[in-house]
């Protein structure tokens, strides 16, 4: 009787030790997008109990997607495959060309009853190169003195680091050539702050992502005059120049004695924009007459203000080159007596040198 009881106890213990178990589950898998991941689940003493691979919904864990049962694949996706090794009782789930939506929690399950199951989890993370979201700043236009906020938001895995630079590594208004963070704030912008800013997102997966952000600062015109005083002889052409810096591009006019000048037989006005903010303007005085000597005004105006600069033209006895030297006959209207005088002057200088 005692012997039978002991034997029954050992049989019971043996059956208890043979209860279904998951002896091994893969550790967390981290793979670059497009790579291959293999998830292993080894089971013991499952006998006729079903073994499943499922993917658990990260928001609602009661919602799962069944991928396989036993050695049979359920999902109709050519990227998924299943291997079963009978010797080790291991079910290997392989995912090729892994995509962002493949990331999440995968679960190996042994179904005991409708209400009971043995389960083990493995997390799959997919490394994704950075992307810059559309809610990031693309360009900004403000007036000088206003504040601006440049925003840059990026996604990817691992979460990207966001930094800011300026074109040609120019100093940032915040100081230094590099700023880290999603938002670059400038309290009071100056016209020197205009230009291209770079938002850079990096997470060591593939190449970083960069967005160019154009910062336009509207400011009132500033005029510089390369040569405030210029001399020229009668009947020769002369160029008066102004360099204008402004944004938006200004309207530029020339004046003499408070009278606006225009293109005619006496004047030729030209403008050349070297950039959105820079304009060079030239007033060519044709065949200078006595009444054309004096002060000229160069004016530039945009919605933010008006600027003015003066250039003086005075009389000389000898033609000034350029622009006189650029003319075939040295003058657009010089007389033969003038030419004879110049030739005689040159001959005298030659004789002096010879002596």
Out of 162, 186, 218, pick the residue that ends a domain: 218
| pLDDT reading at 341 higher than 80 | no
Handedness of CA 45, 67, 37, 70 (dihedral sign): positive
Q: Is 192 helix (H, G, I), strand (E, B) or coil?
A: helix
For residue 121, the Cα-to-chain-centroid distance in whole angstroms is 41
- Name the least confident of 11-15, 142-146, 292-296: 11-15
Instruction: Report which of 262, 264, 219 is spatially closest to residue 244, judged by C-alpha positions.
Output: 219
- Mean pLDDT, residues 264-277: 93
Handedness of CA 224, 213, 147, 184 (dihedral sign): negative
Q: How far is CA 62 from CA 55, 56, 65, 112, 158, in A?
A: 11, 8, 10, 18, 27
- Mean pLDDT, residues 134-157: 96
- Name the least confident of 18-27, 171-180, 314-323, 341-350: 341-350
Cβ atoms of 155 and 133 within 8 Å: the answer is: yes
* DSSP-derived secondary structure for 233-284: -TTS-EEEEEEEEEESPPEEEEEETTEE--SSSSEEEEEEESSSSEEEEEEE
Q: Are residues 207 and 229 in the same domain?
A: no
- Mean pLDDT, residues 335-339: 46
Residue 288, in any domain of the structure: yes
Q: How many domains in the chain?
A: 3
Residue 6, in any domain of the structure: no
| pLDDT reading at 68 higher than 60 | yes
| pLDDT reading at 324 higher than 90 | no
For residue 17, the model assigns a pLDDT of: 52
- Mean pLDDT, residues 37-64: 90
Q: How confident is the model at residue 123 (pLDDT cuts 50, 70, 90)?
A: very high
For residue 355, the model assigns a pLDDT of: 46
Q: What is the mean pLDDT of the chain?
A: 88
| pLDDT reading at 220 higher than 90 | yes
- Mean pLDDT, residues 264-279: 93
Residue 12, in any domain of the structure: no
Which comes out higher in pLDDT, residue 61 or 103? Answer: 103
Please compute, for residue 10, the number of CA atoms within 13 A of its CA located in the half-sphere on the CB side: 5
Parallel, antiparallel, or unpaired: how do β-strands 29-32 and 117-132 relate?
parallel
Q: Are residues 140 and 199 in the same domain?
A: yes
Residue 41, in any domain of the structure: yes
Strand partners, 183: 151
Q: In the chain, what percentage of residues exceed pLDDT 70?
A: 86
CATH of the domain at 107: 2.60.40.10
Residue 11, in any domain of the structure: no
Which comes out higher in pLDDT, residue 263 or 59? Answer: 263
| Angle at the Cα of 333 from the Cα atoms of 328 and 336, rounded to 5 degrees | 85
Tell me the pLDDT tens digit for each residue of 301-318. 999 999 999 999 999 999
Parallel, antiparallel, or unpaired: how do β-strands 209-224 and 139-143 relate?
parallel
- Mean pLDDT, residues 210-234: 96
Residue 349, in any domain of the structure: no
For residue 140, the model assigns a pLDDT of: 96
Instruction: Report which of 279, 116, 157, 142 is spatially closest to residue 213, judged by C-alpha positions.
Output: 142
- Mean pLDDT, residues 108-129: 95
Buried b (16+ CB within 10 A) or exposed e, 90-123: ebbbebeebeeebbeebbbbbbeeeeeebebebe
Out of 102, 128, 154, pick the residue that ends a domain: 128
CA distance 108 to 119: 5
| pLDDT reading at 352 higher than 60 | no
Residue 74, in any domain of the structure: yes
Cβ within 8 Å of residue 203, ≥6 positions away: 127, 129, 130, 156, 157, 158, 159, 160, 161
Q: How far apart are the first and last CA of the chain?
A: 151
Q: How confident is the model at residue 326 (pLDDT cuts 50, 70, 90)?
A: low
For residue 5, the model assigns a pLDDT of: 41
Which comes out higher in pLDDT, residue 71 or 6? Answer: 71
CA distance 42 to 49: 14
- Mean pLDDT, residues 236-253: 96
Q: Are residues 55 and 155 in the same domain?
A: no
CA distance 70 to 108: 11
| pLDDT reading at 231 higher than 90 | yes
In 3-state terms the chain splits into helix, strand, coil percentages (rounded to 5) of 15, 50, 35
| pLDDT reading at 333 higher than 70 | no
- Mean pLDDT, residues 15-21: 72
- Mean pLDDT, residues 138-162: 96
For residue 342, the model assigns a pLDDT of: 52
For residue 64, the model assigns a pLDDT of: 85
| pLDDT reading at 263 higher than 50 | yes
Out of 191, 218, 245, pick the residue that ends a domain: 218
Bond prior to 322 in cis (omega within 30° of 0) = yes
- Mean pLDDT, residues 179-184: 97
Q: Are residues 338 and 306 in the same domain?
A: yes
Domain that holds residue 39: 19-128
| pLDDT reading at 113 higher than 80 | yes
For residue 330, the model assigns a pLDDT of: 38
Provide the total of helices (H) and of strands (E) in the chain, helices listed first.
2, 26
| pLDDT reading at 252 higher than 80 | yes
């Amino acid at each position: 009787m005692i012997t039978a009881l002991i034997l029954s106890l050992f049989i019971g213990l043996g059956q208890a030790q043979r209860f279904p178990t998951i002896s091994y589950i893969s550790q967390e898998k981290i793979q670059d997008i497009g790579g291959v991941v293999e998830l292993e689940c080894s089971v013991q003493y499952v006998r006729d109990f079903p073994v499943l691979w499922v993917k658990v919904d990260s928001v609602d864990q009661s919602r799962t997607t069944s991928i396989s049962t036993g050695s049979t694949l359920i999902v109709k996706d050519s990227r998924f495959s299943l291997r079963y090794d009978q010797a080790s009782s291991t079910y290997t789930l392989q995912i090729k060309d892994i995509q962002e939506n493949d990331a999440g929690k995968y679960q190996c399950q042994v179904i005991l009853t409708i209400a009971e199951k043995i389960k083990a989890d493995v997390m799959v993370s997919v490394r994704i190169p950075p992307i810059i979201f559309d809610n990031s700043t693309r360009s900004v236009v403000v007036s000088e003195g206003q504040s601006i906020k440049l925003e840059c938001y990026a996604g990817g895995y691992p979460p990207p680091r966001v930094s800011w630079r300026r074109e040609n590594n120019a100093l940032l208004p915040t100081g230094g050539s590099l700023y880290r963070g999603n938002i670059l704030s400038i309290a009071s912008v100056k016209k020197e702050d205009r230009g291209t800013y770079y938002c850079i997102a990096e997470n060591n997966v593939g190449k970083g992502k960069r967005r160019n952000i154009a910062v336009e600062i509207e400011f009132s015109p500033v005029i510089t005059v390369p040569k405030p005083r210029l001399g020229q002889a009668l009947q020769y052409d002369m160029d008066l120049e102004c360099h204008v810096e402004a944004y938006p591009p200004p309207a530029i006019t020339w004046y003499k004695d408070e009278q606006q000048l225009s293109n005619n037989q006496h004047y030729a006005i030209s403008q050349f924009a070297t950039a959105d903010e820079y304009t060079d303007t030239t007033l060519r005085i044709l065949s200078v007459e006595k009444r054309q000597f004096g002060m000229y005004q160069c004016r530039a105006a945009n919605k933010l203000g008006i600027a003015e600069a003066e250039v003086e033209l005075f009389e000389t006895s000898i033609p000034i080159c350029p622009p006189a030297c650029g003319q075939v006959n040295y003058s657009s209207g010089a007389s033969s007596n003038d030419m004879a005088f110049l030739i005689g002057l040159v001959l005298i200088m030659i004789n002096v040198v010879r002596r």
